Structure 1
Amino acid sequence: MDPADSTAERSTSTRLPPGDFGVVLATLRARRGWSVREFARRANVSEGQICNLESGLRNPTPAVATACDAALGTGGELVELAGAGRCGARPEGVVEAGPVVTGYERVLLELKDIGRSTGPRFVTASMKSISRTLTDAGPHAVGEQRAEIWLLASRFAEYAGWMAQEAGNPAEALRWTNLAVRWGAHGGDETVAAYALVRKAFIAQHRGDTCAAIGFADQAAGHPAANPVIRAHAARRAAQGHARRGDAEACQEALERFRSHAVEAIGDRTPHWGPRIENGNPRLIEASCMLSLRRFELAADLFAAEHRQAVPADSNSQARFSVRQATALAGAGHLDDACQIVEATLPVIKCIDSATVRAELGRFVEQARTRRASPGQLALIDASAALSIG
């Protein structure tokens, strides 16, 4: 066992996360970034047994509980949890969805927190295996509970698509996004189909197809199932697409739509697809659009004002907007300030390993190389260029 595994196991031996045996098992596995296959290997238990335990189709035998406890280093707590009983598997293999949905909703929140701070590498395996567990469990649930499981599977698929994009794999991102649409339909929710168009707009924007990005954003806004949240996300993508095409008037119109829909969405407690709209700072979004329109001084001022008032909470957003601020400063001729920001941000970018952040770093390099730089600045720009291509 390597030292990192040993440290991780000791850290979980004091207190288990909430939930029944299957949910706790999935949560602990997800925190380590282990796939079902990897965990099954470590516990010397079959992959099928792990999936059945996590989905609630089977109860753990004492031997399996002991093997899982040893692999996770929980000091007997998993064995005790198994002995204390859990919501048992229902007759004829029917899943009791309540504990499954509640537990995996917590797991999804944990994985999103990890993904925002570290990028896709520590969450992708867990997202895939839990999606498999949920889709295996879906057909065994009944009535509204079946719909709840399929909707949760759809949410996992949507986030797996985002992580695939962060890993620089747009084809895989589209595959997961399409799965999210299909599984959402199984759960009776058509809004995921509308939000999937927003995701496709972002994927197109990331690969440089601005025309397609605007087209997908407009389709999302006009989708019959689009709600104010989805229309706000669509307007944001449209604004950034128009900015990259240099159409300032269309960009401003889209920004106005974004602000209007965002206000309309606040207080709406229905389930939402994508990031919470209140986390999309309108001034930072406007600053990003001004950057794409090459209005560098205005963009730099907007970024500076917003960073003084409210810094984004997660590492990915912090790095993305910091690099955009640096790009604006470089474009405005303030290369010293730009390089200071990038120098402070490079360690974070190395840690989170995000394709979208690396793309932003590439834009900084492109802009910085138009300016006269000192030897130290040239070294920083070269290091940034190397990191931007992975």
Structure 2
Amino acid sequence: MDSADSTAGAASDGAVPQGVVPTGAVLADAVLAGRSTDARLPPGDFGVVLATLRARRGWSVRQLARRANVSEGQICNLESGVRNPTPAVAAACDAAFGTGGRLAELAGPGRRGARVEEVVETGPMVAGYERVLRELRDIGRSTGPRFVTASLKSITRILTDAAPHSVGDQRAGTWLLASRFAEYTGWMAQEAGNPAEALRWTSLAVRWGTEGGDESVAAYALVRKAFIAQHRGDGAAAIRYADQAAGHPAADPVIRAHAARRAAQGHARRGDARACGEALERFMGHTAEAVGGRASSSGPSWGPSWGPSWGPRVENGNPRLLEASCLLALSRFEPAADLFAAELRRRPAVPADSNSQARFAVRHATALVGVGRLDEACHLVEATLPVIKRIDSATVRTELGGFADLARTRRAGPGQLALIDASAALALGLS
């Protein structure tokens, strides 16, 4: 979750301009405010458009079914393409979304109905849901898990229901996209503070990735375990899982880069600067290899366009911010504070990536506390607290708890103490 595309062009009153399909921060703000984002229907057939609109509203299958007064099974069948909408159902969905008859018009040409036990054409569905996943990621970066989890789970169910009834390359592509949805659902579970659920979804991602012919997700699952261990403060386990991921037979340069990143932070937490530095060098080397490989390959023709690659795009990460984070973990506060300040000044603000911005802001503030610049640190955290409350990320709250713990050891004034107490309460989920 290290980057996202920014979105511009919203009207001055915050409404979505006519003819523009919103993404990123604009879309997330619209979802939060409860405004319509359906100025123009997204591309795709009726089922894909229905799922996209539902994802944009943050509705579960059950919520849409209740609003349209149809069964949940009907919604699932429509979104997966197993059934075509009747005029009455299309009109009910139109009314639920307020799309002014456009959904009914889209349903008009229709497609030949497919019974569940027959072969299902999943190619268009995979292409459509790949776009939906990108939109859900944009929303997740800006708003946290609560507005995307229901959609992720319901679309995953649709994909796994359809995959056994597809054949050949389409079958593989459907399983791989289901695996991708499961992997991101696991990440959202982790962000919601439920590591057991995160591991369960990650295990499903491994199973479905294997169904689609990709073993590399099993290697990436070890990276996810390393991250969970890191956030519960178990540096030894984080290093162990990271090393297992790097040595996995199916690990590619992207996964090895992610593994090196987790290893570097694990070694830093254990106070081993030499091993941390070696892991940072591996991260740089694997990242260069991954970027070169992506530049020279168009990916497989049979699957979704993102290809068999897992985790955030490593080229979008900032190695200097990773180095600063490691310096902070090593309690080398002054160089960490200087490096955070320099890189965050250079790093362009990406409104849709609130999670990363909040995380690095809190780390910067913690480094400032370490060098005795408590007033600056408190101002930085005070400006970031509204974002932290909005995204409600367990991983960011862990960072905030570290800030509060260190700040409590410093001499603070009444206003600073109030901010530290508020930060500690938010870190514990008490506010």
Same fold (TM over 0.5): yes
SS at match of 1:139: helix
CA-based RMSD: 1.7
Report which stretch shifted further, 158-167 or 53-62: 53-62
Q: State the partner residue of 1:355.
A: 394
The answer to which of 209-218 and 356-365 deviates more is: 209-218
One-letter identity of the residue aligned with 2:160 = T
CA contact (8 A) 1:361 1:384 kept: yes
Q: Could you say which residue in structure 1 is the equivalent of 2:40? A: 15
Q: Is the 1:21–1:86 contact (alpha carbons within 8 Å) kept by the matching residues of 2?
A: no
Change (3 A) 1:52 1:323: same
Q: 2: CA distance between counterparts of 1:130 and 1:45?
A: 18
What is the match of residue 385 of structure 1?
A: 424
Once the two structures are overlaid, the 10-residue window that deviates more, 257-266 or 303-312, is 303-312
Tell me the alpha carbon deviations over residues 244-295 of structure 1, each in whole angstroms, 9 at most, x when there is no partner.
0111111011001001111111143342200000121000000000000000
Instruction: Give the number of equivalent residue pairs.
Output: 386
Amino acid in the other structure paired with 1:333: G
Letter in 2 for 1:41: R
Match of 2:108 among 80, 83, 94: 83
Matching residue of 2:332: 295
**Partner Cα distance (2:80, 2:236) in 1:** 43
- For 1:140 and 1:225, the matched residues in 2 are separated by 28
Say if 2:314 is the partner of 1:277. yes
CA distances 1:88-132 after superposition (whole Å, capped 9, x unpaired) = 648963211111010000000000000000000000000000000
* Match of residue 258 from structure 1: 283
Alignment of 1:180-259 (within 5 A): 180-259=205-284
1:215-264, Cα deviation, whole Å (9 max, x unpaired): 11000000001010000000000000000011111101100100111111
Task: Say whether the 8 Å CA contact 2:31–2:58 is kept in structure 1.
Answer: no
Contact 1:361/1:388 (<8 A) preserved: yes
Comparing 154-163 with 80-89, greater Cα deviation is found at 80-89
Partner Cα separation in structure 1 for residue 428 and residue 116 of structure 2: 54
**Structure with the higher fraction of residues in helix conformation:** 1
CA distance in 1 between counterparts of 2:346 and 2:209 reads 38
SS in 1 for 2:74: helix
Q: Secondary structure at the match of 1:268?
A: helix
Q: Deviations over 1:42-74 (max 9, x none)?
A: 111111111111111111111111111111111
Q: So what's the TM-score if we normalise by structure 1?
A: 0.96
Within a 5 Å distance, the mapping from 1:1-390 to structure 2 comes to 8=34, 10-12=36-38, 14-86=39-111, 89=114, 93-269=118-294, 270=299, 271=307, 272-311=309-348, 313=350, 314-390=353-429
Cα distance in 2 for partners of 1:92, 1:389 equals 49
Q: Distance in 1 between matches of 2:169 and 2:115?
A: 16
- Structure 2 Cα separation of the partners of residues 288 and 90 of structure 1: 54
AA paired with 1:285?
L
Displacement after TM superposition at 1:311 (Å):
4.0
Provide the C-alpha distance between the structure 2 equivalents of 1:6 and 1:302, rounded to a whole number of angstroms.
Answer: 34
TM-score, normalised by the number of residues in structure 2: 0.87
Question: How much does 1:39 deviate?
Answer: 1.1
- Alpha-carbon shift at residue 27 of structure 1 (Å): 0.5
> Following TM superposition, where does structure 1 have runs of at least 4 consecutive aligned residues deviating by more than 2 angstroms?
4-11, 84-93, 267-271
- Matched-pair contact (CA < 8 Å) for 2:142–2:355: yes
Q: Structure 1 residue 180: deviation in Å? A: 0.2
Consecutive unaligned residues of structure 2, counting only runs of 5 or more, are 1-29, 300-306
How far apart are residue 84 of structure 1 and its match?
3.2
Instruction: Name the CA shift for 1:215/1:10 in 2 (closer, same or farther; >3 Å).
Output: closer
Aligned to 2:24: none
Confirm or deny: 8 A CA contact 2:82 2:116 kept in the other structure.
no
Aligned mates of 1:290, 1:312 — CA distance in 2: 23
8 Å CA contact retained: 1:20, 1:87: no
Letter in 2 for 1:331: G
- Which SS does the other structure have where 1:84 is aligned? coil
Contact preservation (8 Å) 1:57, 1:93? no
8 Å contact from structure 1 (residues 311, 318) kept in 2: no
Bigger RCO of structures 1 and 2 (CA < 8 A, at least 6 apart)? 2
**Letter in structure 1 aligned against 2:401:** G
Contact 1:9 1:72 in 2 (8 A): no
Tell me, yes or no, if the aligned pair for 1:184 and 1:192 is still in contact at 8 Å: yes
